[in-house]
């Protein structure tokens, strides 16, 4: 992700698309209580009942749904969710509050499974919705969502992946010593805390099948680039063209020899990658057994 010199709203950081003002301006405390209409919406998605799902959106005034392709209405959003062909869906409700009577705001992420066994396909979507009571019925008036992704998308960029005060050169030296002792490689991850895709990659590397390969085969060093004002010399040293975006990766052997450097922004759009892409990369560059 390339650096953008502007302060983004919480919802924009979460979804990576234009913020829904009615959601972003919420100030009421979050509630952990289940919102029944959201459970009914989830059931309609899983059932594949397009007519029922469509009826949950406001028609007067028409519902507005924001995504990476722009603003659409209820029909397009219904098509999106039915098109996922969900057999089961895990919904994680992050926020639910009512800024005033008759209005409910929810923020959640979903893990959608469209198959079974080895043929199971998993997609991740984050969504913010505003529900309004209309004629005694709750209906969606505004929504904002990410595209379906093969990697889980973080709902917050508050985690401090990169330490502002870290001495990257010293950390690389320590990592090389540990790698020599443990017969490992050193994985350099250039990035910054403002970078959404850096958080996507960090979350992906916590997946069990990836975390185990990392732990057994790599010493990981997070190299902070700040606003492309820090550690740029290390990018040059390890032949990583940082101006093409972060996260950017390099792999060293235990002697410090450069084995791989990202040249074309391969990981810059981490949200578009799949777990198997990352697993193949880690397995390709791990030490020979």
- Dist. CA 72–CA 286, nearest whole Å: 45
In a domain, 154, yes or no: no
Residue 10: its pLDDT value, please? 40
Local confidence band at 1 (pLDDT 50, 70, 90 cut-offs): low
Same domain, 116 and 182: no
- Dist. CA 11–CA 155, nearest whole Å: 9
Same domain, 125 and 177: no
pLDDT digits (tens, 9 = 90+) for 4-21: 333 223 433 344 333 333
φ/ψ (deg, to 5) at 162: -110, 125
pLDDT of 25 above 60:
no
Mean pLDDT for the stretch of residues 63-86: 96
Range of the domain at 211: 168-285
Question: For residue 125, what are the contacts with CB-CB under 8 A and spacing of at least 6?
Answer: 84, 109, 110, 112, 145, 146, 147, 148, 149, 153
In a domain, 1, yes or no: no
Same domain, 173 and 228: yes
Residue 220: its pLDDT value, please? 98
Closest CA to 257 of 240, 241, 242, 238: 238
Residue 223: its pLDDT value, please? 98
- Dist. CA 127–CA 149, nearest whole Å: 13
CATH number of the domain that residue 181 is part of:
3.40.30.10
Same domain, 117 and 212: no
Instruction: Report yes or no: 41 and 53 within 8 Å, Cβ to Cβ.
Output: yes
Q: Lowest mean pLDDT: which of 72-81, 116-125, 249-258?
A: 116-125
Question: For residue 242, what are the contacts with CB-CB under 8 A and spacing of at least 6?
Answer: 190, 225, 228, 232, 235, 248
Angular region, 183: left φ>0, alpha ψ -120 to 50, beta rest:
left
Residue 2: its pLDDT value, please? 52
Same domain, 72 and 138: yes
Same domain, 22 and 132: yes
In a domain, 59, yes or no: yes
Instruction: Report yes or no: 89 and 112 within 8 Å, Cβ to Cβ.
Output: yes
Share of the chain above pLDDT 90, in %: 81
Same domain, 79 and 47: yes
Q: How many CB atoms lie within 10 A of CB 34?
A: 9
Same domain, 52 and 97: yes
In a domain, 162, yes or no: no
The residue with tokens 């209409």 is 37
Same domain, 19 and 141: yes
Local confidence band at 143 (pLDDT 50, 70, 90 cut-offs): very high
- Dist. CA 36–CA 33, nearest whole Å: 9
Same domain, 50 and 124: yes
Same domain, 209 and 101: no
In a domain, 157, yes or no: no
pLDDT digits (tens, 9 = 90+) for 188-219: 999 999 999 999 999 999 999 999 999 999 99
Local confidence band at 157 (pLDDT 50, 70, 90 cut-offs): confident
The residue with tokens 């250039």 is 190
* Cross-strand bridge partners of residue 123: 112
Mean pLDDT for the stretch of residues 154-170: 93
Length of the chain: 289
Residue 195: its pLDDT value, please? 95
Instruction: Report yes or no: 140 and 131 within 8 Å, Cβ to Cβ.
Output: yes
In a domain, 2, yes or no: no
Mean pLDDT for the stretch of residues 99-123: 92
- Dist. CA 147–CA 26, nearest whole Å: 23
pLDDT of 146 above 60:
yes
| CB contact burial 11-24 (16+ within 10 A = b; e otherwise) | bbbbbbbebbebbb
CATH number of the domain that residue 99 is part of:
3.10.450.50
Local confidence band at 233 (pLDDT 50, 70, 90 cut-offs): very high
pLDDT digits (tens, 9 = 90+) for 40-72: 999 999 999 999 999 999 999 999 999 999 999
Residue 30: its pLDDT value, please? 45
The number of folded domains in the chain is 2
pLDDT of 183 above 80:
yes
Q: Where a domain ends, among 82, 110, 145?
A: 145
In a domain, 265, yes or no: yes
In a domain, 152, yes or no: no
Same domain, 16 and 140: yes
Q: How many CB atoms lie within 10 A of CB 218?
A: 22
pLDDT of 140 above 50:
yes
Residue 98: its pLDDT value, please? 94
Closest CA to 240 of 172, 193, 138: 172
Q: Quick check: helix, strand or coil at residue 189?
A: strand
Mean pLDDT for the stretch of residues 151-179: 94
Mean pLDDT for the stretch of residues 232-257: 96
């Amino acid at each position: 992700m390339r650096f953008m010199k502007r302060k983004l709203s919480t919802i924009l950081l979460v979804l990576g698309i234009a913020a829904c003002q009615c959601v972003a301006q919420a100030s009421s405390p979050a509630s952990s209580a289940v919102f029944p209409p959201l459970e009914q919406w989830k059931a309609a998605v899983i059932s594949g009942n397009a007519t029922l799902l469509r009826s949950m959106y406001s028609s007067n005034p028409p519902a507005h749904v924001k995504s990476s392709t722009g603003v659409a209405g209820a029909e397009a959003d219904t098509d999106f969710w039915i098109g996922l062909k969900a057999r089961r869906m895990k919904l994680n409700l992050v926020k639910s509050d009512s800024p005033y009577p008759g209005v409910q705001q929810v923020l959640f992420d979903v893990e959608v499974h469209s198959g079974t066994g080895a043929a199971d396909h998993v997609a991740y979507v984050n969504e913010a919705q505003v529900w309004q009571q209309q004629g005694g019925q709750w209906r969606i008036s505004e929504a904002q969502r990410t595209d379906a992704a093969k990697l889980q998308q973080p709902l917050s960029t508050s985690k401090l992946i990169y330490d502002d005060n870290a001495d990257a050169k010293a950390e690389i030296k320590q990592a090389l010593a540990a790698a020599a002792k443990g017969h490992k490689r050193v994985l350099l991850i250039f990035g910054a805390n403002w970078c959404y895709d850096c958080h996507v990659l960090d979350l992906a590397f916590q997946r069990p099948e990836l975390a185990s390969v990392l732990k057994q085969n790599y010493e990981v060093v997070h190299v902070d680039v700040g606003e492309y004002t820090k550690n740029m010399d290390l990018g040059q040293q390890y032949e990583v063209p940082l101006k093409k975006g972060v996260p950017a990766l390099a792999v060293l052997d235990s002697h410090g020899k450069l084995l791989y450097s990202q040249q074309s922004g391969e990981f810059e759009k981490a949200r578009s990658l799949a777990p198997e892409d990352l697993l193949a990369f880690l397995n390709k560059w791990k030490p020979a057994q």
